[in-house]
């Protein structure tokens, strides 16, 4: 299904995007600094809340920190890969800059998805790993099965997130400017920083299926805490596969409608 995928191409793209990011020293340093601050900003509200209560809907501070840790990892994925790449599609459609991408004998989806990397995301990645490790250190080591389940759910969540973003972005092939949809998606995803059980039933379902941000934050944390079993795996995999297949179909249809721009 994915034609023309070659590891060599992915590596060459990665190299170029890192070289580009590092071309301007000041901007690179500033980005790294901002990334550090925003990683801190994700965890801060949690401490404010737990300064007043010791438990929130069955979650202690350490357990809720686990959710935050996964949310940071998810943010790193979105800020580092999804936003810069899929966001560039919107500009590319408007300016016709996709022309030179679409004539390459490489799968268009691959090119559109991995041609940029934002180094700023490194902080959220590091912060996420530290937060997960620290809270696990205080909560006790999870079983191998729990780690496998958490990783699987997290992976499915990332795949589903990517699919959802791609579908939303693809609407720009018809409507050209869809920046608002992007911001909406970002804002709603923010709900994932809190354990999903603090929300009402409707929102919980929405955060698991429509905008599957709970799949990348709360569920992996619940798996590590031993609150989930493998019965969820089927649903998570199905969600991920459905999102990936649907987004691929939408992209292929969208490319047919690409109208380029001027000469």
* Of the candidate residues 60, 62, 88, 102, the single one contacting another protein (CB under 8 A): 102
**23-82 binders of another protein (CB under 8 A):** 23-24
Burial class (CB in 10 A: 0-12, 13-18, 19+), 126: middle
Instruction: Determine contact, residues 57/195, Cβ cutoff 8 Å.
Output: yes
> CB of residue 95 vs another protein: minimum separation in angstroms?
9
> CB of residue 14 vs another protein: minimum separation in angstroms?
11
Q: What interhelical angle do 61-77 and 144-170 show, nearest 10?
A: 40
* Of the candidate residues 56, 81, 106, 132, the single one contacting another protein (CB under 8 A): 106
What are the C-alpha distances in Å from 49 to residues 44, 58, 124, 194, 205?
9, 14, 21, 11, 24
> CB of residue 103 vs another protein: minimum separation in angstroms?
5
Shorter beta-carbon distance to another protein: residue 24 or 183: 24
Over the range 31-48, which residues count as b (16 or more CB within 10 Å of their CB) and which as e? beeebbebbeebbeebee
Shorter beta-carbon distance to another protein: residue 5 or 40: 5
The distance of Cα 134 from the centroid of its chain, to the nearest Å, equals 22
* Of the candidate residues 2, 20, 143, 183, the single one contacting another protein (CB under 8 A): 20
> CB of residue 104 vs another protein: minimum separation in angstroms?
5
What are the C-alpha distances in Å from 89 to residues 5, 28, 76?
19, 22, 20
Which range, of 3-11, 50-58, 146-154, 242-250, touches another protein by CB under 8 A?
A: 3-11
Which range, of 9-17, 83-91, 157-165, 237-245, touches another protein by CB under 8 A?
A: 9-17
Shorter beta-carbon distance to another protein: residue 13 or 214: 13
* Of the candidate residues 2, 11, 30, 245, the single one contacting another protein (CB under 8 A): 11
Burial class (CB in 10 A: 0-12, 13-18, 19+), 123: buried
* Of the candidate residues 1, 8, 44, 144, the single one contacting another protein (CB under 8 A): 8
Shorter beta-carbon distance to another protein: residue 92 or 192: 92
> CB of residue 106 vs another protein: minimum separation in angstroms?
5
**Pairwise CA distance, residues 172 & 164, whole Å:** 14
Give Cβ neighbours of residue 112 (< 8 Å, ≥ 6 apart).
85, 86, 88, 89, 98, 101, 251
Shorter beta-carbon distance to another protein: residue 146 or 254: 254
Instruction: Determine contact, residues 158/73, Cβ cutoff 8 Å.
Output: no
Residues that bind another protein (CB under 8 A): 3-4, 6, 8-9, 11-13, 16, 19-20, 23-24, 96-97, 99-100, 102-106, 108, 256-260, 262-263
């Amino acid at each position: 299904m994915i034609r023309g995928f070659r590891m060599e191409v992915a590596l060459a793209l990665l190299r170029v995007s890192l070289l580009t990011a590092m071309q301007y020293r000041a901007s690179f340093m500033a980005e790294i600094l901002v990334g550090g601050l925003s990683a801190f900003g994700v965890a801060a509200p949690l401490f404010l809340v737990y300064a007043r209560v010791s438990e929130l809907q069955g979650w202690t501070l350490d357990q809720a920190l686990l959710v935050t840790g996964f949310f940071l990892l998810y943010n790193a994925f979105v800020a580092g890969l999804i936003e810069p790449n899929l966001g560039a599609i919107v500009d590319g459609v408007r300016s016709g800059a996709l022309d030179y991408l679409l004539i390459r004998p490489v799968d268009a989806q691959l090119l559109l998805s991995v041609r940029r990397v934002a180094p700023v995301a490194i902080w959220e990645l590091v912060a996420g790993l530290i937060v997960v490790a620290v809270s696990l250190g205080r909560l006790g080591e999870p079983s191998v099965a729990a780690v496998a389940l958490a990783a699987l759910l997290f992976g499915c969540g990332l795949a589903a997130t990517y699919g959802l973003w791609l579908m939303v972005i693809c609407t720009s092939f018809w409507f050209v400017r869809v920046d608002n949809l992007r911001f909406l998606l970002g804002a709603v995803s923010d709900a994932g920083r809190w354990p999903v059980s603090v929300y009402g039933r409707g929102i919980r379902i929405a955060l698991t299926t429509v905008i599957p941000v709970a799949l990348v934050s709360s569920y992996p944390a619940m798996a590590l805490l031993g609150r989930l079993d493998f019965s969820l795996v089927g649903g998570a995999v199905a969600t991920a596969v459905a999102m990936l297949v649907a987004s691929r179909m939408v992209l292929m249809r969208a490319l047919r409608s690409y109208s380029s721009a001027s000469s």
